[in-house]
Every structure is written in structure tokens, then in C-alpha cells.
């Protein structure tokens, strides 16, 4: 499965990047997150790990550990799920776009079991949720 989305935010790449990588901001724009904490000490960087709890309609809450496996401030970062039931990894890129930023998000992974059988529906639901998250992100960052 692969999902891609591109959208613009009316703030410079550094501001958008710095907002997105902060564990304390994640639940404010990814509304399916019920708990997020950075478990690696120090500022976010390559190798930083986060513990996340996620709850989406129709599923029980689950926990996962994600790690920054790419980190090039303020241009891009990628996360890999180290532990957890949903093997969907993601990459964010941030490019100057006039006075703002063009943000590109990619998510990919292999789904198993019933989710694999329902792939077209699952993919559409995930894409819808990510679009909502990106609207929230745009609203929150532009209000800074």
C-alpha cells in the first residue's frame, strides 16, 4: 500500500518542519493520537524514538514505537515503525514555495489479514484521515 499527498502551508519550511517533529504537537493535528511521548532524550534528531497510542473508529487503541530514520532539518524526515501492529512508515519533505512551504507526505507498508482483503477501503479511509490531519497541521502552523 502506498499513499501520497502534497499540500501547502503559508509558513517557511523551518517553521513547518520544527512543528511537525515535536512529539508534543502530534496529537494536536493527528487527532487519532491519544498519547505521544518522546522516549529518546535530547532534541529530535536521527534515531529519536516516540511512543504513540492511536485510536481510530472501529479499532481498539494500539501502541507503537516509531523512530526517525531520516532527518535533514528543515528539508525532510522519515519514520519507521519499530514496534507495533500497523507497519506503515512515512516520509515528509518540505520545499520552499514562495513565502510558504510545499509539504509532501508519503506512507507505505504491507497490510496483513483482513486489512489486506479490504485494501481499497482501508487505503481510502487512511487517505481521508491523512487529508484531515494535513488540514489540521496547516491551520495550527499558520496560526503560529
Nearest to 76 by CA among 139, 12, 14: 14
pLDDT digits (tens, 9 = 90+) for 89-143: 999 999 999 999 999 999 898 766 665 656 666 667 777 777 888 899 999 999 9
Distances (CA, A) of 128 to 5, 73, 121: 11, 28, 11
CA distance 130 to 49: 21
Nearest alpha-carbon partner for 104 in 1, 19, 9: 9
Residue 3 has a pLDDT of: 84
> Structural domains in the chain?
2-142 (3.30.530.20)
pLDDT, one tens digit per residue, over 60-101 is 999 999 999 999 999 999 999 999 987 889 999 999 999 999
**Cα end-to-end distance, the chain, whole Å:** 34
C-alpha cell read off for 68: 526517525
Amino acid at each position: 500500500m502506498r499513499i501520497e499527498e502534497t499540500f501547502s502551508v503559508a509558513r517557511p519550511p523551518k517553521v513547518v518542519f520544527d512543528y511537525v517533529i515535536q512529539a508534543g504537537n502530534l496529537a494536536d493535528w493527528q487527532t487519532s493520537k491519544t498519547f505521544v511521548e518522546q522516549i529518546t532524550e535530547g532534541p529530535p534528531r536521527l534515531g529519536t524514538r516516540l511512543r504513540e497510542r492511536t485510536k481510530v473508529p472501529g479499532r481498539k487503541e494500539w501502541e507503537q514505537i516509531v523512530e526517525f530514520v531520516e532527518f535533514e532539518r528543515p528539508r525532510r524526515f522519515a519514520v519507521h515503525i519499530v514496534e507495533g501492529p500497523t507497519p506503515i512508515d512515512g516520509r515528509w519533505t518540505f520545499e520552499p514555495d514562495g513565502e510558504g512551504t510545499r509539504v509532501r507526505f508519503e506512507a507505505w507498508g504491507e497490510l496483513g489479514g483482513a486489512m489486506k482483503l479490504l485494501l481499497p477501503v482501508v487505503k481510502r479511509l487512511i487517505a481521508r484521515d491523512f487529508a484531515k490531519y494535513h488540514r489540521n497541521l496547516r491551520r495550527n502552523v499558520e496560526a503560529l
